[in-house]
Structure 1
Amino acid sequence: MSSISRVSKGRRKIEMKKMTKESNLQVTFSKRRSGLFKKASELCTLCGAEVGLIVFSPRDKVFSFGHPSIDTVVNRYLTRTLPYASRDTIQLMEANMRELNLRGLNVQLTKFTNQLDMENKRAEELKQLQKVVEALISLEKT
């Protein structure tokens, strides 16, 4: 009996360089981001650590993970890295963060308002179409 040996390459180290193919880059980013967030979550659970993680995608979308929240972790970091900051400076930083949050909420509000306007126009068009159909049905009956 002859034994046939199979030669495999096995697991190989991936060379660390930027990917050129856009679709592969996006898929890899998503998978790695999920893994990174999972590890951060495990660190919080196992060690009781407070973790803040902010990631910008290749398409400039922002993703964040924070425990207990990203704002809490960032504020704690800023106040610890600025031990000589005055109370006024810290209050100014907090006001700036609230303003950034308010801007984000305003963007969402504008988006939802535009969507609501489009849906209202669509509803009006459907009402008019319904009137036309009802008129045609009443004409057929006579």
Structure 2
Amino acid sequence: MVRGKTQMRRIENATSRQVTFSKRRNGLLKKAFELSVLCDAEVGLIIFSPRGKLYEFASSSMQEVIDRYKRHTKDRVQPENQADAQNLQHMQHEAAILMKKIELLEISKRKFLGEGLQSCTLQEIQQIEKQLERSVSTIRARKTQVFKEQVERLKEKEKILTAENAKLREKFVGLQQNQTPSEDKEGEAVCTDSSEKSDVETELIIGPPESRTRRLLQN
């Protein structure tokens, strides 16, 4: 049966904890001594008890071991520090160049706006004038291009509206042609009614009944 690994945790009982510390400390110091003798290794071991008491072992001298450790770690970390320092120096140099460019751009901007021209020479003013003329020419060319594009869009819109108007006109003419026969029939009906009504006597005759009878017979 395989036993599971027990989880290591702090010993709660103070007496048991002190006894375990003493045993493990002595065993660790013994192992350090054996390692230095058997393997001819330079060993330095430092232990502080829970109460702050110092226990140490050094195969030669604790100070020599510590100095050697510092030299080793310094040689190991120095290349990284040098790389960081070089990167930092490069970034600072790039930042200084960018700040100089920004400053020059700000000066040029103020000159283009007509500010700070007192210190400019005649040649510098002429160069600024030529550059402004080139800028104005570029802006006018762009303006003309924008106008042309707007005119082309309006022409396309006019074509679309003209085509829609022609379609509506064709539909209107068709509707008129469909309504013409019915209107003619209505006109004929009106004429027929008027002719029929014309046969009806509309003449007003004034007088006695005999005279009206004779007049009707004569007609």
User: What's the TM-score bracket when you normalise by the shorter of the two chains?
Assistant: 0.3 to 0.5
> Normalized per residue, which structure has more helix?
2
Q: Answer 1 or 2: higher relative contact order, Cα 8 Å, separation at least 6.
A: 1
Larger Rg: 2
TM-score by length of 2: 0.32
TM-score by length of 1: 0.48
